[in-house]
Amino acid sequence: MLQRETDVAIIGGGPAGLAAAVEARNHGCDVLIIERDDSLGGILQQCIHPGFGLHEFDDELAGPEYAQRYIDVVENGGIDVLTNTMVLEITPTKDLYAISENGVINIISKSIVLAMGCRERTRGAIKIPGYRPTGVYTAGLAQRFVNIEGFMPGTEFVILGSGDIGMIMARRLTWEGATVHGVVEIQPYPSGLIRNKVQCLDDYNIPLYLSHTVVRVHGKDRVTGITISKVDENWKMIPGTEKFINCDTLLLSVGLIPENEITKKAGAALSRTNGPVVNQFLSTTINGIFACGNVLQVHDLVDNVAVEAKKAGKLAALYSKGVQVPTSMEKQIVRVSPGNGVGYVIPNVINLDVKEEFIEKAGSMRFSLRVRKPMQDIYIKMRSGQKELYKKFHRYVRPSEMIIFKIKESIKDFLEGLDIDTPIEVYVEPKNKQPGKRERD
């Protein structure tokens, strides 16, 4: 078996892996990126639309262009890269096994950064009755076909799910000469960004069927059409509202889930995002294993991926240099739990027992979360028991837009104000809170 040694091994060469690698290298570590695809860049290589890097580079870059900026730094920065190499397993003792054309490689690394991204939910995950004819694809796979491989998977489309990838594909397919008969969304609001609804659907008069779902896929060998139906607030179909739409292809854009097979095998605890549990240092429950990017939580802005990944890269580097970075399993931890209106919060736990000189090194205390549904005029608050730790007013919040905030006061004071037995709660509070009336989720 081939063997390699390094200080920081990074699994996945998407934007998260690349940013983490650059940062770890800047901290003087030997870094190895392991990527299963034949090029670096991850999912960005197929996201050819502009809108990436608005915050980081102050420019509206296309996905591959954004990736290229990092790839250039990686290639000139003395970072080792193994492409066409897939990580199969990290054992609980942190032994890493990967496979390439040359066989199995055993990689021994002082620390590991998980940056495997996410995968798309498929039809099995959402259960639509009917045969399994050709012509049902996930939107991301179709994106790859059309944008990289130059192959159109159909001519008459319907898209299930109004996530950003689905809406962006609606416009893309229209440009390539296909007809998109509609985007069907089970929620009463679009699940992607407003910007994408306006520029990808409204601009091309593509109907958006809100509070609708696909109830049947017709066709035996190839899709010949679908039936959609209106649903009530409990997502039950309303009889009599069915409508048949002629099409040869159905794209599914019904959500992304962190790629977590390897994380699980390594023995790391998972959280409700399906990614690993992490603390404020993005350390999993295993010593020396860190996580960032979509493998941790599905991001909507690549700029946020980069910020998170740089932090993971830096902490992995410090760990490799012998700094004791607390894991999210240690004794002195307090849980961070999502309260009213909040789907999840990262970090999942906060370590209290942190050496003072390390507080400085580790950088800011950053929280990210998503709300459960669109809301107006609300506060995002954080508390520990009765003590308010953070509060900010938002005119509008949507599940499609991740909310990020930082603790402004000194982190030392913040940590000292926490109590090990009292979980921290992050929650939504309506501005004009009426006593006795609670927001329903």
Partner 1 sequence: MIAKKPSVEEKEITCIVCPTGCSIHVKRLEDGTLSIEGNQCKRGYDYAETEFIEPKRILATTIRIEMAKVPLVPVRTDEPVPKEKLDEILDFLANIKVKAPVNCGDVLVEHVLGLDANIIATRTLGVDTCDKIACEI
Ligand X SMILES: Cc1cc2nc3c(=O)[nH]c(=O)nc-3n(C[C@H](O)[C@H](O)[C@H](O)COP(=O)(O)OP(=O)(O)OC[C@H]3O[C@@H](n4cnc5c(N)ncnc54)[C@H](O)[C@@H]3O)c2cc1C
For residue 96, CA distances in Å to 24, 81, 286 come to 19, 15, 14
13 binds ligand X (CB under 6 A): yes
The residues in 282-311 that bind ligand X, with binding defined as CB under 6 A, are: 293-295, 299-300, 302, 305
Residues that bind partner 1 (CB under 8 A): 38, 45, 48-50, 60-65, 68, 71, 147-150, 175, 194-195, 197-199, 202-203, 395-398, 401
DSSP string over 152-190: ---SEEEEE--SHHHHHHHHHHHHTT-EEEEEE-SSSS-
Q: Which is nearer to partner 1, 21 or 40 (CB)?
A: 40
116 binds ligand X (CB under 6 A): yes
CB of 95 to ligand X, least distance (A): 15
Residue 192 CB contacts under 8 Å (≥ 6 apart), including other chains: 162, 163, 164, 165, 166, 167, 400
The residues in 340-359 that bind ligand X, with binding defined as CB under 6 A, are: none
Strand 156-160 with 179-184, pairing: parallel
14 binds ligand X (CB under 6 A): yes
163 binds ligand X (CB under 6 A): no
Q: Is 58 exposed, middle or buried (0-12, 13-18, 19+ CB in 10 A)?
A: exposed
Give bridge partners of residue 394 from the DSSP assignment: 378
CB contact burial 357-370 (16+ within 10 A = b; e otherwise): ebbeebbebbbbbb
CB of 163 to ligand X, least distance (A): 9
81 binds ligand X (CB under 6 A): no
**In 10 A of CB 45, how many CB atoms?**
18
Q: Which is nearer to partner 1, 255 or 374 (CB)?
A: 374
165 binds ligand X (CB under 6 A): yes
Q: Tell me how many residues contact ligand X (CB under 6 A).
A: 37
Contact criterion met (CB below 8 Å) for 58 and 36? no
CB of 428 to partner 1, least distance (A): 15
The residues in 31-60 that bind ligand X, with binding defined as CB under 6 A, are: 34-37, 42-44, 47
Residue keyed to tokens 């944008």: 147
Distance from C-alpha of 176 to C-alpha of 180, rounded to nearest angstrom:
11
The residue at minimum Cβ distance from ligand X is 14
Distance from C-alpha of 209 to C-alpha of 227, rounded to nearest angstrom:
12
CB of 68 to partner 1, least distance (A): 4
CB of 304 to ligand X, least distance (A): 8
Q: Which is nearer to partner 1, 2 or 194 (CB)?
A: 194
CB of 115 to ligand X, least distance (A): 5
CB of 98 to ligand X, least distance (A): 7
Backbone φ and ψ for 64, nearest 5 degrees, come out as -65, -30
Q: Which is nearer to partner 1, 22 or 29 (CB)?
A: 22
Q: Which is nearer to partner 1, 72 or 353 (CB)?
A: 72
